[in-house]
Homo-oligomer: A and B are copies of this chain.
Amino acid sequence: MYTIGAMSKATGVKVPTIRYYEEIGLLDEPGRNAGNQRRFDQAGMDALGFIKHARDLGFSLDDIRALMGLDGQLGDDCAEADQIARSQLENVRERIAKLEQLARELERISHLCDGGNGGCCKVLTALADHSQCAGDHG
C-alpha cells in the first residue's frame, strides 16, 4: 500500500496532479484508511506510471484514456494502440517541422540586430511585417 506522497515520489507525478487524475476518472479511486487518506495498491502505481510515461511522450489525457481502455482486452488491441501511437508520431513530426520553420525565421530576425543599428529596430520591423519572411510559417 502506497500513500499519495509515495506514489508521487515513485512516478514523478505531483500530488495534486494525482488527485486530479482521480477526479477526472483516469485513475481508479483508491481505498482509504481509517483517517480518510488514500492508500494505493500496485495496480494504481502501475496505472500512474503508464500515464506518466504516456504524458511524457506527448499523448493527451484522452489518448491515454483510450489506451488504458484497450489494456487487458483481446483481439485488435494492438492495431488500435498502434494506430494511436502512430498518429501521435505523425503529430510530433508535424510539430517539429513547424518549429524548425519558426527557428529559421527567428534566426533571420535575430541576425538583423547583430551589429546594432541606430534608432530603428529591425527586429520590431521584421515582426510587424510578415511579407519579409522567407517561408510561410504560422
User: Which A residues have a C-beta under 8 Å from some C-beta of B?
Assistant: 46, 49-50, 52-58, 67, 70-71, 74, 77-79, 81-82, 85-86, 88-89, 92-93, 95-96, 99-100, 102-103, 105-107, 109-110, 113, 116-117, 119, 121-124, 127-130, 137-138
Contact = CB atoms under 8 A, between A and B. Distances in A.
Contacts of A53: 127-130, 138
Contacts of A124: 67, 70-71, 77, 81
A79 B99 CA distance: 24
Contacts of A82: 110, 113, 121, 123
Given A49-B128, A67-B127, 12 more contacts: A52-B130, A53-B128, A55-B138, A56-B137, A57-B102, A57-B106, A57-B137, A71-B124, A74-B119, A82-B110, A89-B107, A92-B102
B121 A81 contact: yes
**Which secondary structure dominates where chain A touches chain B?**
helix
A124 to B, nearest CB: 5
Given A102-B58, A127-B57, A110 B96 contact: no
Given A56-B137, A71-B124, A124-B77, A96 B106 contact: no
Given A46-B128, A82-B123, A57 B105 contact: yes
